[in-house]
Structure 1
Amino acid sequence: MPAGAIKPAGWLRRQLEIQANGLGGHVDETWPDLGPESGWLGGKGESWERGPYFLDGLLPLAWQLDSAPLKAKAQRFIDWTLGSAQPNGMFGPRSNDDWWPRMVMLKVLAQYQELTGDARVVPFMTNYFHYQLQAMPERPLRDWGRMRWQDEVAVVLWLYTRTQDPKLIELAHLLKKQGYDWQGMFANFSFKEKVDVKALEAKRKGEDVFMVDDGLQVHGVNNGQALKASPVWSLVSRSADDRAAIHHQLAMLDTYHGLPNGMFSCDEHLAGRSPSQGVELCTVVEAMYSLEMSLAITGDAVLGDRIERIAYNALPGTFTDDMWAHQYDQQPNQVEVSLHRRPWTTNGPEANLFGLDPHFGCCTANFHQGWPKLTAALWMATSDKGLAATVYAPCEVSTVVRDVPVRIDQATDYPFRGDVAITVQPAQAVAFPLRVRIPAWCRQPVVKVNGEAVAVKAGAGFHTIDRTWKPGDRIALSFPAEVLTERGFNNAVTFLRGPLVFSLPIGEAWVKWRPRGLTNDWQVYPTTAWNYGVAPEATAEEHPIGKVPFAGGTPAVTLSVRGRPVAWKAEEGVADPVPEQVAITTEPVTTLKLVPYAGAKLRITAFPPMPA
């Protein structure tokens, strides 16, 4: 749907307000890279990707919360960017001519046009794309832009739907031709082990692995963004193979690098399946956006399940509860947050600290898109002029269906609870199909319309309700969630309930490492034991949902599992890979309380099975 059609409600609004009150709304006040000297404000400061990254989340956040101060912050960047256009169509800071950061700012401008209708945007984009079409044969895509061509193709096609300019399709083909062949890489996927970065550097005789294909093709953020490549290109090719290719990509990443939180390891390069490996925050938000766009294009309900697993675990799991500090890398089995070099493939010792810009500042600028882009993907329009509930969270939708204004109120405490109440408020009675996603994990879904049950099957993907909708019609969804277990790396056990992944919280001693303006950098040390094996059964207990939705101190759901201490150690602050077999011990069995993944900043998520 157009940006601005969906507004957060309930716990989701509280989460967005936490972001706005934390770094999301104030990072430019404390971080020079986004301060008044930013190159994207006409200054001599950082002039590459960080300004566009920041705007890509700040803009939708500002409008979803209808925040005048945040809108004003975003507008300064927008106005400078639109005013920076050169006679030939090029725009942005003149200190670089890299195609890549402009790809991000184009995403921003598309959202801005939908939110405001600003008449400057379409001719601005048209002039730039015409310039790029002429310039690219002599100045082709390189490094980051070459790997991320699909992000620009998506905006090119957005503009094409509005102008029908044939040069835009010509540009799309050129971007694809010069871009990296992601579909081909995954068709013959050869990266089945933790990447040996030193071997890559030796092979390249010391070349920077971030600037050559050997490193770029196994770079985590590139792979997160690449998930959308084939679905986006299918809009041009109309190929069923292109539409379906994302599932093979996900299968390869899961099989060889999958982590319990729904992501794949990348710290920063693909790192195998051990839950002690990390995943970069940029990869989390970019994978979410790729999946959201891919769901919009393909209509594949399974992508909604993946979005929820990432959004309700990996995304909040990498922030402090107040969102004033974040990690560069998070680990599902994260027993210490401190200065160490193990177990990263590439990253330095700050990689899993909580702070302003640990290790590298890209995530400080880019994390802002996570929650706002999720909000924008909760509902979608359908090709038969209907609506679809695609991802579940509390929200309000304002749209027009078959020329009739329609408002939808979606009240729910999902993912902490399984009930969703949808009230349809058309301005007048109107017939259209409304689809609701049936989560794949739910074995006994219930769908009622105005109190009457309708037949629905587990595993149905999207269930369609086609009727004449009248003001006040209600859909009641119930998705009972059982506690399930998954087996992962070395037969490790992970517990799930609905879209939530559960972890053993380890006692936390927070140590301020250094002040960083309005925030601080933190190390976190364990104060309780973590090395347990578990039995694969658990019972769930629900609790009130707190003001901070994912806070570990007030978990909305807990699991009780039986566990026993086992021989399993940490080295340099990092848990060894989950042992495949553990010795029988005389330690007594105890009851462990697990909390949702995001609530435990030190945690064990994948356990060895408890010996009999």
Structure 2
Amino acid sequence: MNDCKFFGAGFTRRALLRSCSYLSVATWLAPGLARADPALPAATVPHPAPPRAPGQNRAPLAGQPFLPLPSGSIRPAGWLERQMRIQADGMGGRLDETWPDVGPNSGWLGGTGESWERGPYFVDGLLPLAWALDDPALKAKAQRFIDWTLDHPQPDGMFGPTSNDDWWPRMVMLKVLIQYHELTDDPRVIPLMRRYFAHQLKALPARPLKDWGRFRWQDELVAVLWLYNRTGDASLLQLAELLRAQGWNWQAEYADFPFKAKLSAEELGLDESKGGNSANGLSDRTLSAHGVNNAMGVKTSPLWSIVSGRATDRDAIKAELAVLDRYHGLPIGIFSADEHLAGTSPSQGIETCAIVEMMYSLELALAITGDAAIADRIERIAYNALPAAFTDDMWAHQYDQQPNQIKCSLAKGPWTTNGPEANLFGLEPHFGCCTANFHQGWPKLNASLWMATAGGGLAAMLYAPCTVSTVVGDVPLRIEQATDYPFRDTVSIALHPEREVAFPLVLRVPGWARSAKISINGAPAHAASSRGFVTIRRSWRAGDRVEASFDVATRRVETADGASTVEHGALLYVLPIEENWEKWRPRGLTADWQVYPASPWNVGLAPDASLHRTERAVSPTPFSRRSPAAVVTTSGQAVPEWIEAHGGYAEPPPRGLTGNGDQRPLTLIPYGAAKLRITAFPTLTV
């Protein structure tokens, strides 16, 4: 996300330090540092809060059709629990042991190290990961950041390290404090937030939002509305209006969208030879074309609709997503932005920060709009782009990933504003924002699998194995959702209320399902269907079981650029390229890697090829190249006209080719399992 760097080919470390002069230089930790650092005080972790049902928005805020369950209500099971445990055993849980920016000298632990966004980013994923896995060691790590933040407020209401007064990193830490309060009911949280928002309301007129905070004001709006719902303090609505007045108008940008193609450094105002990259900061044009800012920005309209009550605000996200798809859409459900909006070529990349922030924005928007198509998009991103960004052990990640990724090397790449490390796998390739921020992806997806409904029921919004602990009316309820979705097309839901209770149970029907069969205790269910959801109204008893089976076809889909992709449900299936991994340099507990192709990649799908999908066992590493949970067999033909571009990436798939070569069998695997791959194939004609 490069929140604190100058962009472009002329980027240097000196430019980084100039742009980030308020950051301190941290000392590297020894690779073998123990997980519990003796220099830090022991953390006492509060007992978890009891299960509860969420409440509707307080007047005059508008209501919403779905309500996220309080943090901690949902725990992963099955393959999702294994994936999150991999994250905990990798950088997601141990980053502080090898990367000083979130280590014991962090400014967010009272030290003199990095004091801007990286500590809050790290805890924003570490906290929900620790509680979802009920991991005492991870909870203790997160608790130290929480305790320091809550126990060291400044007299005027400001909180956080005193070495900078930027509004932006505090927006991230506020999201952390919201989750923490829902998990523990810690009485320190709400008073700190009230003092801080009172301080900000007074200070913003003279010290307004700027730079990153100005384009990300909607992330603070989440916290402001959360606190208003708990206190009814009318001054918080004044603060919401002030944030909106000072923040970037994302809805207006999408209404008259200025970025209809890949942008050059000169067009972005970043050409140093023409005065770009100056010490005066980044222009509005540069920041509004920034990929992560856009990923954060798409939540703005639905969030603001809670304040305005206007349906036009709530529904604006549909048009906004359509604009991004039209001009910059990639097959993986998100737009290209490497680092800025970059067109529709499948060789362009997308930043890992943008992936996890887009997921979070859409998870909030799903609850506010009730639009089932948003859930489809979340799953497309989460089950393809998210796992593709990491090595199997989650000890290395990419800054940028490409749908058509034929090499991960120090070659220049197709980037306009990123450097040569952008698609390497490593500790902090190109820039460390994603290193700190990727952790929220899986935990927040887990937290959004189920939601409450405005009508007092519960809804299965996204599908993955999990358990839910909540309350319906005044009846405690446990739900066990067993499934290998997205690798399979069936879901089993067991309900265990403490006593019989009537409530509507809502199930989403994925948009790619041709039909759905729903049964209750083995008998067909009587369910009402509306706008991508089915609703079952009945009294539920302990042991009741709901089965859902979705009829999904494996199919070839033509992209807007005339290429072909293969999909089955949420998953894209890709041609894996044999991988030759070369360690470039050690990085403490991990390393940086280049990956080179060891098999041909320039292949098209045969025009008349059939698609046959075969299911296999889901392995301990769910998105595994070695043992994929499903494969698609088909046939293809070599396309010698399709060549590698100067810079080590695949040119866009050529058009208008006739399939007249020898056919050969192809085995396609899930996108997230292949680190080198072809996703968008040339469309061959007979």
TM-score range, shorter chain: over 0.9
Partner of 1:23: 91
1:129-140 correspondence to structure 2 within 5 Å: 129-140=197-208
Q: Distance in 2 between matches of 1:221 and 1:591?
A: 39
Is 1:559 aligned to 2:628, yes or no? Answer: no
Is 1:439 aligned to 2:510, yes or no? Answer: yes
Q: Distance in 1 between matches of 2:543 and 2:445?
A: 26
Amino acid at match of 1:206: G
Amino acid at match of 2:277: D
Give deviations 1:382-413, integer Å, cap 9, x for gaps: 11111100000000000011111011000000
**Equivalent position SS for 1:381:** strand
Partner of 1:601: 675
Partner of 1:575: 650
Q: Distance in 1 between matches of 2:559 and 2:359?
A: 22
Partner of 2:311: 240
Of 168, 172, 189, the match for 1:104: 172
Taking structure 1 as the reference length, the TM-score comes to 0.98
Q: Distance in 2 between matches of 1:352 and 1:458?
A: 44
Q: Distance in 2 between matches of 1:115 and 1:174?
A: 30
Q: Distance in 2 between matches of 1:134 and 1:459?
A: 46
Return the offset for 1:190: 2.2
Does the 8 Å contact 2:606/2:663 carry over to 1? Answer: no
Partner of 1:117: 185
Return the offset for 1:199: 2.7
Partner of 2:58: none
Return the offset for 1:456: 5.8
Give deviations 1:92-143, integer Å, cap 9, x for gaps: 1111100000000000000000001100000000000000000000000001
Q: Distance in 2 between matches of 1:489 and 1:208?
A: 34
**Equivalent position SS for 2:442:** helix
Q: Distance in 2 between matches of 1:325 and 1:582?
A: 38
Partner of 2:621: 548
Partner of 2:50: none
**Equivalent position SS for 1:405:** strand
**Equivalent position SS for 2:606:** strand
Return the offset for 1:528: 0.2
Q: Distance in 2 between matches of 1:446 and 1:489?
A: 32
Of 266, 277, 280, the match for 1:208: 277
Return the offset for 1:200: 2.6
Q: Distance in 2 between matches of 1:202 and 1:56?
A: 31
Q: Distance in 1 between matches of 2:326 and 2:247?
A: 26
Amino acid at match of 2:520: V
Q: Distance in 1 between matches of 2:325 and 2:340?
A: 15
Give deviations 1:305-364, integer Å, cap 9, x for gaps: 011000000000110011000000000000000002220021000000000000000000
- Aligned CA RMSD, in angstroms, stands at 1.4
Return the offset for 1:539: 1.3
**Equivalent position SS for 2:220:** helix
Taking structure 2 as the reference length, the TM-score comes to 0.88
Does the 8 Å contact 1:561/1:593 carry over to 2? Answer: yes
Q: Distance in 2 between matches of 1:87 and 1:202?
A: 40
Is 1:515 aligned to 2:586, yes or no? Answer: yes
Is 1:10 aligned to 2:81, yes or no? Answer: no
Partner of 1:353: 424
Which ranges of structure 1 fall in alignment gaps of 5 or more residues?
none
Which ranges of structure 2 fall in alignment gaps of 5 or more residues?
1-68
Does the 8 Å contact 1:150/1:232 carry over to 2? Answer: yes
1:385-404 correspondence to structure 2 within 5 Å: 385-404=456-475
Deviates more, 1:443-452 or 1:593-602: 443-452
Is 1:63 aligned to 2:105, yes or no? Answer: no
Return the offset for 1:489: 4.7
Give deviations 1:279-318, integer Å, cap 9, x for gaps: 0000000000000011111111111101100000000011
Return the offset for 1:460: 4.3
Does the 8 Å contact 2:302/2:365 carry over to 1? Answer: yes
Amino acid at match of 1:91: F
**Equivalent position SS for 2:584:** strand
Q: Distance in 1 between matches of 2:271 and 2:310?
A: 37
Give deviations 1:571-593, integer Å, cap 9, x for gaps: 221001111233555x3111111
Q: Distance in 2 between matches of 1:293 and 1:158?
A: 12
Of 83, 103, 106, the match for 1:38: 106
Is 1:272 aligned to 2:347, yes or no? Answer: no
Partner of 1:80: 148
Does the 8 Å contact 2:263/2:342 carry over to 1? Answer: yes
Q: Distance in 1 between matches of 2:255 and 2:294?
A: 14
Give deviations 1:485-529, integer Å, cap 9, x for gaps: 221153000000010011100000000000000000000000000
Q: Distance in 1 between matches of 2:98 and 2:112?
A: 17
**Equivalent position SS for 1:198:** coil
Q: Distance in 1 between matches of 2:659 and 2:184?
A: 65
Of 293, 300, 313, the match for 1:229: 300
Give deviations 1:464-498, integer Å, cap 9, x for gaps: 11111111111100012211222115300000001
Of 232, 240, 247, the match for 1:172: 240
Of 197, 209, 213, the match for 2:265: 197
Deviates more, 1:457-466 or 1:57-66: 457-466
Q: Distance in 2 between matches of 1:431 and 1:100?
A: 44
Partner of 1:48: 116
Does the 8 Å contact 2:265/2:271 carry over to 1? Answer: no
Q: Distance in 2 between matches of 1:460 and 1:438?
A: 9
Q: Distance in 2 between matches of 1:606 and 1:463?
A: 33
Q: Distance in 2 between matches of 1:495 and 1:116?
A: 45
Return the offset for 1:183: 0.4
Is 1:162 aligned to 2:226, yes or no? Answer: no
Q: Distance in 1 between matches of 2:412 and 2:163?
A: 34
Partner of 1:471: 542
Does the 8 Å contact 1:489/1:578 carry over to 2? Answer: no
